[in-house]
Amino acid sequence: LAPQDLTGETVLVTAGPTREELDPMRFLSNHSSGKMGYAIARAAADRGARVRLVAGPTALSTPRGVELRQVVSAREMHAAVMDLASDCSIVVKAAAVADYRPACRQDQKIKKGGESTLSLELQRNPDILAELGQLQGERFLVGFAAETEQLLENARRKLQDKNLDLIVANDLTAEGAGFAGDTNVVRLIYRNGDVEDLPQMSKDQLAHSLLDRIRSRLHGKEEA
Ligand code: C5P
């Protein structure tokens, strides 16, 4: 049995990709498997937290003891997170939210025309995490930054822009890291500027390592 060191905490985790529909058959999405977020939800529940998981479409089964809210689009994820976040002490946003959606979804299947190119107009989605960062509250906010270049600079900027306590940066081009696999290699960047590199480990081990750090810094935040 895991130590019950998150008893009394309510943790909101988001996981998986979002899908942005073009028409009844097609959507824009990404390669997120949801494994990292599900591992965090499972680990937090095993450690005694109340866990709410807001997940885009994945092939994973719901961890025991976790309350699942399934969503499809970024806008649905936004509504679910805003609905559930108010009484959470920790929010971990592991979802790969689509930054843009088609500006208008067609009711009928889009037909091929005679032209060899087709342009899509895209509309910016709400940044869920940035919005949470702007709300007042004691919540400990954790974001993920999946990058293919300038990992530290980009992650630091996201931490500041979104007003986060911790950002988990992973280099999508590194071996053993990223979306589909069962392992990850991450660098943690804290609000005070501390940087910590974690070695390659399974997503389940990483989930526990993250929760260890969140738990020790959470109480620092409450006392600050
Ligand atoms: O997309 P970006 O690299 O800015 O994502 C960093 C963090 O922000 C992730 O934790 C992601 O879940 C979150 N995010 C969000 N809403 C968006 C885009 C990203 O909550 N529209």
- Is the residue at 20 inside a domain? yes
CATH of the domain at 159: 3.40.50.10300
Q: Is the pLDDT of residue 77 over 70?
A: yes
State ipTM. Answer: 0.94
94 CA from centroid of ligand 1 (Å)? 8
Mean pLDDT for all residues in the chain? 94
Assess whether 30 carries a catalytic annotation: yes
Who lines ligand 1 at CB under 6 A? 74, 93, 95, 97, 99, 125, 127-129, 143-145, 158
40 is in an annotated binding site: no
Which residue range(s) make up the domain with 216?
A: 10-99+121-223
- Is the residue at 108 inside a domain? no
Query: What pLDDT, on a 0 to 100 scale, did the predictor assign at position 220?
Result: 66
Count other Cβ atoms within 10 Å, centred on residue 183.
Answer: 16
pLDDT confidence band for 175 (50 / 70 / 90): confident
pLDDT digits (tens, 9 = 90+) for 138-150: 899 999 998 889 9
d(CA 96, CA 133): 17
* Number of structural domains found in the chain: 1
- Is the residue at 45 inside a domain? yes
Closest atom of ligand 1 to 132 CA is 20
- Is the residue at 3 inside a domain? no
